[in-house]
Amino acid sequence: MSRLLICSEKDLPSVNIRNSLFGRGGWEDLGGDGVCTYRQKNDMVVMTMPDMHIYHELPDREAEKFGIKVDDITVMSKHSSKSGIPALTAHPIGNYHENEFGGRERTLSPASPAPMTDALRRISEYSRREGVQKCFEVTHHGPYTEKPVFYIEIGSDETNWGNTEDARVLADVIADSEPDYGALPLAGIGGGHYAPRFTEIALRYRVSFGHMIPNYQIEGRDDEDVARMVRSACRATGTDSVYVHRKSMKGPEERRIKALIASEGFDIVSSADLEPLGGN
């Protein structure tokens, strides 16, 4: 597997995570085209770009034109939130509707369920700083890629973005990655932006979450639009299995969502169907 790690010079956490990786030594300078530069170590290639990654469409194609084989992508990034709460997050990318922040309208990039879920578990294990939120975020923003991709982020504002300890933690998470490709891939539906139920399930059971559809994307949408989102999330995750955050929905809405999932031919799983981590 060849992993493309993307860094943006305009993104402080992105640069700090990259520099922490480079500080381990052993990286080979591959040069660049005057816009993007590349350095390689074993199966990892770092692509450093001058612009913001969320608007840099098809970085995988760009790297492959330079002779770099790309199997999956990890984007190192800052996370922004008005709360200002320190956070370490991971999430898939794409747009269920508008593309205000990069990517394509109504289009998801392929998810990277096993690497992304492995990242969440390592974040939970490696981060010891008090008061840090450690979780998935649901699918949002660009860029569009053709290879499986996820974002790994430091948040939530300028008081946290420069934290070098958090950057070292995420560098360790990336460097130590050992995804469980045999785990059951899941799309998630329901809940809020920070996906508390999907985070909890990923930390307890042998599953790998890909795309997640929060309630705010579903509310006020007709059946056809919701069914389209479900199809898109499952296909871009590479799964026929869906986990529904039932308690985040009122009864009639839960029944509607489950009926739409079933009508599309996908399976609904519950925690009782899942294998605990460690086999216990």
Confidence of residue 126 (pLDDT cuts 50, 70, 90): very high
Same domain, 171 and 191: no
Tokens representing 215?
């309630």
For 95, the domain range is 3-175
Confidence of residue 278 (pLDDT cuts 50, 70, 90): confident
Write down which residue in 175, 209, 227 finishes a domain: 175
Please tell me the predicted confidence (pLDDT) of residue 279: 61
Write down which residue in 143, 175, 207 finishes a domain: 175
Which CATH number does the domain housing residue 270 bear?
3.40.50.10700
On the question of pLDDT at 46 being above 70, the answer is yes
Tokens representing 65?
């034109």
Same domain, 40 and 66: yes
Same domain, 90 and 218: no
**pLDDT, tens digit, 9 for 90 and up, residues 220-275:** 999 999 999 999 999 999 999 999 999 999 999 999 999 999 999 999 999 999 99
Same domain, 67 and 102: yes
**pLDDT, tens digit, 9 for 90 and up, residues 147-206:** 999 999 999 999 999 999 999 999 999 999 999 999 999 999 999 999 999 999 999 999
Same domain, 102 and 33: yes
Same domain, 193 and 157: no
Q: Would you say 48 and 18 are in contact if contact means Cβ atoms under 8 Å apart?
A: yes
Query: What is the chain's mean pLDDT, rounded?
Result: 96
Tokens representing 165?
């300890």
HEC assignment per residue over the chain: CCEEEEEECCCHHHHHHHHHHHCCCCCEEEEECCCCEEEEECCEEEEEECCCHHHCCCHHHHHHHCCCCCCEEEEEEEEECCCCCCEEEEECCEECCCCCCCCCCCEECCCCHHHHHHHHHHHHHHCCCCCCEEEECCCCCCCCCCCCEEEEEEEECHHHHCCHHHHHHHHHHHHCCCCCCCCEEEEEECCCCCCHHHHHHHHHECEEEEEEECHHHHCCCCHHHHHHHHHHHHHHHCCCEEEECHHHCCHHHHHHHHHHHHHCCCEEECHHHCCEHHHC
Which CATH number does the domain housing residue 163 bear?
3.40.630.50
Number of domains forming the structure of the chain: 2
The mean pLDDT value for 26-54 works out to 95
Same domain, 254 and 136: no
Please tell me the predicted confidence (pLDDT) of residue 34: 81
Same domain, 142 and 218: no
Tokens representing 16?
């700090």
Write down which residue in 152, 175, 198 finishes a domain: 175
Q: Name the residue with tokens 């029944």.
A: 255
Confidence of residue 280 (pLDDT cuts 50, 70, 90): low
Please tell me the predicted confidence (pLDDT) of residue 168: 98
Does the predicted TM-score (pTM) go above 0.95?
A: yes
